Structure 1
Amino acid sequence: MENENTTVQLSKLTRQPDDCSRVLVAALESGDIETSVALYEPSAVLFKKSGETMTGLDAIRENNAGVIALKPKFTIEFITFTLSGDGTLATNRMKANLAFVKPDGTLVNTSVDTLEVLRRQADGSWRYIIDDPYGSMRAGMKQR
C-alpha cells in the first residue's frame, strides 16, 4: 500500500508530466513496486498489450510486479508532453527500447511507444489517469 513517505517523495519528483515516465522507468528497473503504483490515481486505467484494460491500483500493482520480475532495462529515446489549456491535464508520449529476460532465459529486445494521460494533483505533482504503453503504436499492431 502507498505510504506517506512515497507520496511526499513523488510530489517532489513529479513536478512536470514527463517526470512521471522517468520515475516509473526507474521504479520498474529498481524493483520499487510502491513508487511504480503511487504514480497512478486510484481509478487509473492501464492498457495491456492486447488492448484490454485494467482499472485500479490492485490491478496495476499486479501488472507492475510482473514487469519488475522480468528485471527490465529501458533506454529512453524521448519523452514529450502537452499540457491542456488550463494546465490540469497532460499527455505524455515516451519512446523507449526495452530489454528483459524471459523465465526460460530468452533475451527479448522490444520497444514501447507510450501514450499517457496525467492529471495535476492538489500538491502540484502529476499522476497517471490513463497509461497505454503501446498507445502510439496501437494502430499498427496486428495483435489486439
Structure 2
Amino acid sequence: MPADKKPNSRTAMQPDDASRILVTAIEVGDIETIVALYEPDAILFSKSGRAMQGAEAIRQDNLGLIALKPTFTIDFITATVSADGQLATNRMKADLAWTDKEGKEKRGSVDTLEVLRRQADGSWRYVIDDPYGSMRANLERR
C-alpha cells in the first residue's frame, strides 16, 4: 500500500471496520487515526501481556509498530454484537511481514480479541485490544 494513502475513514461505523481501519493506518503510518479508534482510557495489551492504558501509551506502542513498516494480510475478521447493541467483540486473524534492521524479512501473525463500545454518534471504538488474545495461552507457556 502506498505510504501516502490515508485510510478512507477514521470512523468505524461497524465493529469490524475498526480492525480494517487500524491495519490500514498502521501500514501507512497514520498514528492519529490509530489513536482515534480507541476510547480515551482504553487498554491495549503488548505481546508480553503488559496492559497499557490511555491514549499516550497506545500512541507510543503503535509508533513502534509503525516503525517496522509492516504489511498485513487479513485472513478473517469476525464481529459479534451484544443483544443491546452497545458492545462488540472482534476476532481478527492476520499475518504480517516487515524487514528488520539487518534487512532480513520477518513474519508474524496476530489473532486478536478486541472489545468495542458503540459511541453516541453510532461509531465504534476500542475499549480493550489484545492483538494476541486468541494466542495468549500459548504465548504464556513459552
Same fold? TM cut 0.5: yes
* SS of the residue 1:136 aligns to: helix
List structure 1 runs of 4+ shifted beyond 2 angstroms. Answer: none
Equivalent position of 1:123 in the other structure:
121
- Displacement of 1:143 in angstroms is 5.9
8 Å Cα contact 1:18/1:92 also seen in 2: yes
Q: Which letter does structure 2 place at the counterpart of 1:75?
A: T
Q: Which letter does structure 2 place at the counterpart of 1:58?
A: E
Q: Which letter does structure 2 place at the counterpart of 1:77?
A: D
1:22 paired residue among 20, 25, 28: 20
Matches of 2:98 and 2:107 in 1, distance apart? 7
Structure 1-normalised TM-score?
A: 0.89
- Displacement of 1:142 in angstroms is 4.1
Map 1:100-115; keep pairs closer than 5 Å.
Answer: 100-115=98-113
Deviations 1:92-136 (A, max 9, x none): 000000101122222111110000000000000000000000001
Matches of 1:17 and 1:83 in 2, distance apart? 8
1:80 paired residue among 60, 63, 78: 78
Deviations 1:5-54 (A, max 9, x none): xxxx534xx11100000000000000101001110000000000001110
CA-atom RMSD in angstroms:
1.2
Identity %: 66
Q: Which letter does structure 1 place at the counterpart of 2:106?
A: V
Q: Mind listing any 5+ residue stretches in structure 2 that lack a counterpart?
A: 1-8
Aligned length: 134
* SS of the residue 1:141 aligns to: helix
Equivalent position of 1:89 in the other structure:
87
Larger CA deviation: 68-77 vs 100-109: 100-109
1:59 paired residue among 57, 60, 63: 57
